[in-house]
């Protein structure tokens, strides 16, 4: 038997392997320079063990976080020789949510006991909260009549969104989970980004009114004042998200031509770096629709773009699963098989499918919450909850794509609910399976990242403050060192007096531009976009009737519309990441500036850190956190503003304009080739050119804003450095102040070492 000890630390990206008591390594499995996420190499690990050690039996003991143990467990079940392996180690594993809670306790201790004011000010508080409590967005996407709004209402436990044809929805609804709230509040934001209305007790009637006001066919006021987004705050009762704030985005499906902005938002979520979840709601009674095609193509590409997480972020919700009767030969297993075959046609394989009866889940939850039911819900729907208990084929939780961990949780919930028929039936509706899977995804992927970011938010500051205190401590009883320190400070002050360095760096900041790189990347994106449309254009061939021509052209217009949304999302993402990279360059200029301040000083200690303390290390996240909050969220706003009225929907022709009729046998026929050549192809070229021009204009505008922001921050940094050096000079020149500082440092160093030990222990798992 081959005995294997494997440990993986996702917080530090460290892996350790021991085989039969000897250290081993598999860089070809998890990467040489940067250790890949365990979920991406779990399957390869078993294969490599077999190849390398050629044994018939392997005993693997794992240490890490529970998420990664489950990855190994799932990979083992799927392995062709799974019987050759045994996996243990759950007792060695921790949960990321527990580590985040410990981090929050440490942070609270820092706030309460820190001798350093810079670790207690609003800046560090906001940065820590931003790192650990970010919103986690989940987009709920669907074609019309799928029951998307009913599903969201079921998760809310009350009727808040109108459950009707999604094409009537004129605003983007974002629902923020606020645990413990007993009602819902809301804020309506206009197209121009202004708060235009607030509600202390938001209701279904209010949501209807907001939608009506935002409907472009009925709104006759200033377009910038038209409602665009409604931000709703309340308790999403079924999901445990105490460590992060969940945001449900009510996103209309690909067939909603009235609200272009909604579709653009959906496509943008597919490209986000943090991989938000997508709940794709399908109508079990009407699986295949042409409206799905464009979006499912993009979903397939996103799922292929990276590892297990990219697959798990997509949940396909099979609503109205209770519409089938096995007595009539309608088996749910066959419906799920049909769904998988349908998705496979779109290159989506091994999808996570969750059958559900959203209407029953909603009504049961409303009843449990003592929320008002309609007569139909009370008299006709609610009484049928008993069938979800009696009929085993309606135990939809058994069909859900859940991990073993979630299945065990669900079984425990069923056991607790055995004497409460409503709670028991609620689990059988399938809604709880969906909520458990969402909570698990957050725990698996979002929380480990938050732990890392939370520690990093003040770890470097602690390190540098420790060096500063330690170096001052070395001055104790050392007159020569004190004189050397005074000399160093004088040199730095002279350097500061030379304004040429500051001017030079400011000039460099002003000259940096991402325009050329954006042009190159835009060319690649545009080329793919045009290539995809050419494939669709190839379908427009032959001489057909006027009716057939109109149908084909309408279908192509729909394809173009969906493609343009995807293109816009790609461009917005490109712009945001481009500005982030630009910010990194600016921050590097900051670092060089700080280094230049002490460049002529030769002394055994780290002068920059010793004298400047936490100002000696400047990180991207510290400097751009405020800017990102204020500006990055609005990236693309200029593009959105011009999109509807000018180039974003270039095909504004009427049917008659495009119809080129040839007389033949007294029947009007349409030459599609001529239409394609004369009208459509030139418009596509113009469309792409306008895209390129608009995004470069937007990039220039954002670039200038970023430069202005950084130059202001640069001036603040200069002032802080001068104040810090003056403070240091006063301390070393005044014997009493120095002695007081030395006494203070002794306590400070003990405090810093204690906190750093706690942080290191937290990350070491």
pLDDT band at 2 (very low <50, low <70, confident <90, very high): very high
The arithmetic mean of pLDDT across residues 526-552, rounded, is: 74
Taking alpha carbons only, the member of 474, 461, 497 closest to residue 732 is 474
End-to-end CA distance of the chain: 28
Mean pLDDT lowest among 64-78, 144-158, 313-327, 567-581:
567-581
CB 48 within 8 A of CB 26: yes
Checking if the pLDDT of 592 tops 90, the result is no
Task: Please indicate whether residue 765 or residue 399 has the higher confidence score (pLDDT).
Answer: 399
- DSSP letter at 444 equals I
User: DSSP of 463-483, one letter per residue?
Assistant: HHHHHHHHHHHTTTT-HHHHH
User: DSSP of 354-412, one letter per residue?
Assistant: EEE-HHHHHHHHHHHTT----HHIIIIIGGGGGHHHH-GGG-GGGGS---HHHHHHHHH
Q: Which two tokens stand for residue 127?
A: 């940065």
Alpha helices in 59-147 (DSSP H): 66-78, 96-113, 122-132
Q: What pLDDT, on a 0 to 100 scale, did the predictor assign at position 535?
A: 74
Q: Which long-range contacts (CB under 8 A, 24 or more apart) does 380-384 make?
A: 384/360
Checking if the pLDDT of 609 tops 70, the result is no
pLDDT band at 517 (very low <50, low <70, confident <90, very high): confident
At CA 200, angle to CA 199 and CA 204, rounded to 5? 60
pLDDT band at 600 (very low <50, low <70, confident <90, very high): very low
CB 29 within 8 A of CB 4: no
Q: What pLDDT, on a 0 to 100 scale, did the predictor assign at position 136?
A: 79
Q: How many CB atoms lie within 10 A of CB 620?
A: 17
Taking alpha carbons only, the member of 75, 87, 66 closest to residue 8 is 66
Checking if the pLDDT of 19 tops 90, the result is yes
- DSSP letter at 223 equals G
Mean pLDDT lowest among 181-195, 347-361, 707-721:
707-721
Task: Please indicate whether residue 600 or residue 708 has the higher confidence score (pLDDT).
Answer: 708
Q: How far apart are CA 89 and CA 582, in angstroms?
A: 44
Q: How many CB atoms lie within 10 A of CB 111?
A: 13
E-only strand ranges, 235-313: 245-251, 277-283
CB 251 within 8 A of CB 139: yes
3-state secondary structure of 134: coil
pLDDT band at 327 (very low <50, low <70, confident <90, very high): confident
Mean pLDDT lowest among 22-36, 173-187, 474-488:
474-488
Q: How far apart are CA 299 and CA 310, in angstroms?
A: 10
Q: What pLDDT, on a 0 to 100 scale, did the predictor assign at position 483?
A: 85
Task: For the chain, give every domain's residue range.
Answer: 2-94, 479-606+621-721
Mean pLDDT lowest among 326-335, 462-471, 540-549, 722-731:
540-549
Q: How many CB atoms lie within 10 A of CB 555?
A: 14
Q: What pLDDT, on a 0 to 100 scale, did the predictor assign at position 425?
A: 97
Round the average pLDDT of the chain to a whole number and report it. 79
Checking if the pLDDT of 605 tops 60, the result is no
178 Cβ contact partners less than 8 Å away, ≥ 6 residues apart: 233, 234, 235, 245
pLDDT of 159-210, one tens digit each? 998 876 544 455 778 899 888 888 999 999 987 788 999 999 999 999 988 8
Q: What pLDDT, on a 0 to 100 scale, did the predictor assign at position 430?
A: 97
The arithmetic mean of pLDDT across residues 313-325, rounded, is: 92
Q: Which two tokens stand for residue 130?
A: 């931003």
Q: How far apart are CA 577 and CA 508, in angstroms?
A: 21
Q: What pLDDT, on a 0 to 100 scale, did the predictor assign at position 491?
A: 77
pLDDT of 257-301, one tens digit each? 445 566 666 677 676 666 778 899 998 888 766 566 767 877 887
What percentage of the chain carries pLDDT values higher than 70?
Answer: 79
pLDDT band at 662 (very low <50, low <70, confident <90, very high): very low
Q: Which two tokens stand for residue 141?
A: 């996407």
Q: How many CB atoms lie within 10 A of CB 674?
A: 13
45 Cβ contact partners less than 8 Å away, ≥ 6 residues apart: 6, 26, 29, 30, 72, 75
Q: What pLDDT, on a 0 to 100 scale, did the predictor assign at position 215?
A: 65
Place of tokens 């919930």: 413
CB 244 within 8 A of CB 447: yes
pTM of the model: 0.66
Checking if the pLDDT of 661 tops 60, the result is no
Which residues pair with residue 187 across a beta bridge?
198, 231
Phi/psi of residue 139, each to 5°?
Answer: -90, 130
Mean pLDDT lowest among 123-137, 249-263, 462-476:
249-263
Q: How far apart are CA 402 and CA 395, in angstroms?
A: 14
Q: What pLDDT, on a 0 to 100 scale, did the predictor assign at position 109?
A: 92
Place of tokens 């470097």: 460
C-alpha count within 13 angstroms, C-beta hemisphere, residue 740: 7
User: DSSP of 126-160, one letter per residue?
Assistant: HHHHHHHS-EEEEEEEE-TTS-HHHHHHHHHTS--
Q: What pLDDT, on a 0 to 100 scale, did the predictor assign at position 197?
A: 92
Q: At what angle do helices 66-78 and 42-53 cross, to 10 degrees?
A: 60
- DSSP letter at 542 equals S
The arithmetic mean of pLDDT across residues 31-60, rounded, is: 90
Query: 156-165 burial, b for 16+ CB within 10 Å, e for fewer?
Result: bbbbbbbbee
Task: Please indicate whether residue 377 or residue 513 has the higher confidence score (pLDDT).
Answer: 377
The arithmetic mean of pLDDT across residues 502-521, rounded, is: 77
Q: How far apart are CA 447 and CA 438, in angstroms?
A: 13
């Amino acid at each position: 038997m081959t005995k294997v000890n494997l440990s993986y630390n996702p917080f530090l990206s460290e892996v350790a392997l021991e085989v039969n008591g000897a250290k081993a390594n598999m860089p070809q499995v998890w990467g040489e320079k940067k250790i890949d996420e365990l979920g991406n190499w779990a399957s390869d690990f078993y294969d490599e063990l077999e190849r390398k050690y050629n044994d018939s039996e392997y005993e693997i003991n794992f240490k890490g976080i529970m998420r990664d143990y489950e990855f190994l467990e799932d990979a083992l079940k799927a392995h062709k020789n799974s019987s050759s392996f045994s996996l243990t180690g759950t007792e060695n594993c921790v949960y990321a949510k527990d580590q985040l809670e410990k981090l929050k306790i440490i942070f609270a201790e820092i706030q309460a006991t820190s001798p350093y004011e810079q670790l207690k000010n609003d800046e560090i508080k906001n940065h820590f909260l931003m790192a650990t409590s970010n919103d986690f967005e989940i987009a709920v996407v669907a074609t019309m009549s799928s029951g998307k709004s009913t599903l969201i209402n079921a998760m809310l436990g009350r009727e808040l969104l109108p459950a009707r044809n999604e094409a009537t929805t004129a605003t983007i609804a974002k629902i923020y989970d606020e645990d413990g709230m007993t009602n819902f509040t809301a804020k309506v934001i206009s197209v121009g980004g202004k708060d235009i209305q607030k509600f202390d007790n938001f209701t279904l009637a209010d949501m209807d009114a907001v939608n009506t006001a935002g409907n472009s066919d009925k709104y006759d006021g200033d377009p910038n004042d038209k409602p665009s987004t409604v931000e709703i705050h309340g308790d999403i009762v079924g999901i445990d998200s105490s460590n992060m704030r969940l945001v449900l985005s009510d996103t209309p499906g690909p067939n909603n031509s009235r609200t272009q902005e909604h579709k653009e938002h959906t496509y943008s979520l597919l490209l986000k770096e943090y991989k938000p979840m997508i709940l794709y709601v399908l109508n079990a009674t009407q699986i295949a629709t042409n409206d799905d095609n464009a979006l499912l193509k993009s979903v397939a590409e996103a799922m292929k773009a990276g590892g297990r997480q990219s697959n798990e972020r997509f949940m396909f919700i099979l609503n109205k699963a209770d519409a089938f009767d096995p007595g009539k030969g309608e088996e749910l297993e066959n419906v799920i098989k049909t769904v998988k075959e349908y998705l496979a046609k779109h290159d989506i394989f091994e999808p996570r499918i969750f059958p559900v009866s959203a209407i029953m889940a909603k009504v049961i939850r409303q009843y449990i919450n003592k929320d008002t039911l309609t007569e139909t819900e009370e008299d006709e729907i609610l009484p049928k909850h008993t069938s979800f208990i009696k009929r085993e084929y309606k135990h939809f939780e058994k069909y859900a794509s859940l991990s073993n961990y979630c299945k065990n949780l669900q079984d425990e919930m069923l056991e607790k609910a055995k004497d409460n028929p409503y709670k028991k039936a609620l689990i059988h509706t399938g809604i709880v399976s969906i909520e458990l899977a969402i909570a698990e995804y957050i725990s698996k992927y979002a929380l480990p990242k938050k732990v890392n970011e939370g520690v990093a938010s003040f770890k470097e500051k602690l390190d540098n403050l420790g060096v500063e205190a330690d170096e001052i401590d070395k001055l104790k009883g050392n007159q020569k060192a004190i004189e050397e320190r005074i000399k160093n400070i004088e040199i730095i002050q002279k350097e500061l007096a030379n304004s040429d360095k500051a001017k030079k760096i400011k000039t460099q900041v002003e000259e940096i531009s991402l325009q050329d790189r954006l042009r190159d990347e835009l060319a690649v994106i545009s080329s793919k976009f045009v290539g995809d449309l050419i494939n669709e254009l190839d379908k427009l061939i032959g001489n057909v009737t006027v009716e057939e021509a109109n149908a084909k052209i309408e279908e192509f217009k729909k394809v173009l519309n969906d493609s343009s949304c995807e293109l816009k999302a790609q461009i917005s993402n490109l712009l945001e990441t481009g500005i982030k990279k630009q910010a990194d360059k600016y921050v590097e200029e900051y670092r060089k500036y700080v280094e230049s301040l002490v460049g002529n000083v030769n002394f055994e200690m780290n002068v920059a850190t010793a004298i400047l303390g936490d100002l000696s290390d400047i990180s991207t996240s510290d400097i751009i956190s405020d800017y990102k909050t204020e500006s990055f969220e609005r990236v693309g706003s200029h593009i959105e503003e011009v999109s509807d009225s000018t180039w974003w929907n270039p095909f504004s022709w009427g049917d008659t304009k495009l119809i080129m009729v040839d007389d033949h046998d007294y029947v009007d026929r349409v030459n599609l080739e001529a239409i394609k050549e004369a009208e459509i192809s030139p418009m596509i070229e113009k469309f792409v050119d306008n895209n390129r021009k608009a995004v470069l204009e937007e990039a220039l505008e954002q670039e200038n804003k970023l430069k202005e922001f950084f130059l202001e921050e640069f001036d603040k940094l200069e002032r802080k450095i001068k104040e810090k050096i003056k403070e240091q000079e006063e301390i070393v020149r005044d014997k009493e102040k120095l002695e007081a500082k030395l006494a203070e440092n002794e306590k400070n160093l003990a405090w810093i070492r204690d906190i750093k030990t706690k942080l290191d222990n937290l990350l070491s798992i």
